[in-house]
């Protein structure tokens, strides 16, 4: 089975990263590409991200909500933590790289080529500097190690 990797560099645009993730998930489900299309993100942390706990620390002193009834307290805290996570994601200044692995068998060469052509031409992927790395290229071993090391 042939492996091909598509690399995309989204910079710090978290919204486009999420759009790309949703698009890939919808394709996996719609076309039943569970093992044939896999992706992972590499997020580079910058010093601005280390300063990120301060907004969460500011959110924690706002504990007057604990004086309310237990039901409203338990409802308010998860909503608050979700908003804090959402703010953290929008304030993420690190670069995000997307690794997409296409893993088609030998008799599916046409399908593989169609996906290699289609993915970089779709909207969230267009401006992300797409790069295609095939098994025969010298960078393949390095990309394979990097893909396997990501979560």
Q: Return the CATH number at 108.
A: 3.30.70
The answer to whether the beta carbons of residues 82 and 89 sit under 8 Å apart is no
Alpha carbon distance 112, 104 (integer Å): 6
pLDDT in tens, 62-84: 444 444 444 444 444 444 444 44
Percent of the chain having pLDDT more than 90? 63
Residue 63 lies in a domain: no
What is the reported pLDDT for 5?
A: 97
pLDDT in tens, 71-125: 444 444 444 444 444 444 445 568 999 999 999 999 999 999 999 999 999 999 9
Gyration radius of the chain over CA positions: 20
Q: Which two tokens stand for residue 96?
A: 């995000």
Alpha carbon distance 26, 151 (integer Å): 20
What is the reported pLDDT for 69?
A: 45
Hey, how many other C-beta atoms are within 10 angstroms of the C-beta on 1? 11
Residue 28 lies in a domain: yes
What is the reported pLDDT for 151?
A: 79
Residue 85 lies in a domain: no
Q: Which two tokens stand for residue 38?
A: 């896999």
Residue 64 lies in a domain: no
Provide the number of structural domains found in the chain. 1
- pTM over 0.85? The answer is no
The answer to whether the beta carbons of residues 111 and 127 sit under 8 Å apart is no
Domain range for 42 is 2-47+92-149
Residue found under tokens 């893909």: 147
Residue 52 lies in a domain: no
Residue found under tokens 């990097």: 146
């Amino acid at each position: 089975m042939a492996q091909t990797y598509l690399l995309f560099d989204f910079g710090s645009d978290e919204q486009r990263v999420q759009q790309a993730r949703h698009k890939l998930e919808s394709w996996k489900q719609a076309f039943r590409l569970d093992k044939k299309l896999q992706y992972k993100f590499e997020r580079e942390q910058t010093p601005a991200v280390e300063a990120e706990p301060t907004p969460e620390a500011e959110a924690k002193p706002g504990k007057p909500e604990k004086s309310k009834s237990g039901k409203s307290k338990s409802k308010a805290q998860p909503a608050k933590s979700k908003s804090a996570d959402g703010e953290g994601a929008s304030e993420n200044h690190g670069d995000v790289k997307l690794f997409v692995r296409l893993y088609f068998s030998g008799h599916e060469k046409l399908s593989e080529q169609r996906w290699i052509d289609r993915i970089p031409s779709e909207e969230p992927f267009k401006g992300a500097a797409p790069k295609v790395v095939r098994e025969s290229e010298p960078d393949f071993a390095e990309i394979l190690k990097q893909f396997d090391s990501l979560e």
